[in-house]
Amino acid sequence: MDDAWSAFDHLPVKNSVTWTAVIVGYSQIGSNMIALNLFDSMLKTDVRPDKFVISSAISACSSLNFIDNGKQIHGYLYRNEIELDISMNNVVLDFYTKCRKVNVASKLFETMTDSRNIVSWTIMIAGYMQNSCDTDAMVLFAEMTRSGWAADAFARIEVWEDSKKADGKKVSCSCRAALGVLCSQPSFFTL
């Protein structure tokens, strides 16, 4: 990245492509603070960030648990009428779950009724589990499978690992069925 930075720094004119390359690059190697500082510098220019830069900035906020900065970037999207496609919604959803704002993530998820994909479902299920909302995760997992979505490997692992540590909690049979586990009881089983 040092060579990339040097080349970027010496450019007489920086455009959206060059800003994107350097910000995304620093974000991908885990230099999130540098990525956010560059994003801030970019906002002070005439160059408007695209969804790739914004996604990297929000992801950097997630990694650093910078909730206020992430919320500001989310607000920037709305103020500047930047369309939130499914990938952008998923990045924002992931940000809120990782920053322990699962209630905000849940509200966003509920607004995504026509634009959810398996990534959206998995982010929300994992977010519930990572924030100790195990029952909500199990209910959402069952809802996902009832809605016709096949659980990907990550969602299955999240639910399975969580159900193994449930210690007597009841887990719905629809969750077990989606995991490929036979259910002998009509509605619930106890671990």
- Tens digits of per-residue pLDDT, 92-113? 999 999 999 999 999 999 998 8
Sequence-distant (6+) residues with CB within 8 A of 10 are none
pLDDT in the model for residue 121: 92
CA distance 68 to 99: 10
Report the phi/psi class of residue 30: left, alpha or beta, with left for phi > 0 and alpha for psi in -120 to 50: left
Residue 114's closest CA among 76, 156, 84, 77? 84
Residue 176's closest CA among 187, 165, 128, 119? 187
pLDDT in the model for residue 83: 83
Give the pTM: 0.79
- Tens digits of per-residue pLDDT, 43-82? 999 998 888 899 999 999 999 999 999 999 999 998 988 8
Sequence-distant (6+) residues with CB within 8 A of 1 are 25, 26, 29, 31
pLDDT in the model for residue 68: 93
pLDDT in the model for residue 158: 62
Query: In this predicted structure, which of 38-42, 136-140, 184-188 has the lowest mean pLDDT?
Result: 184-188
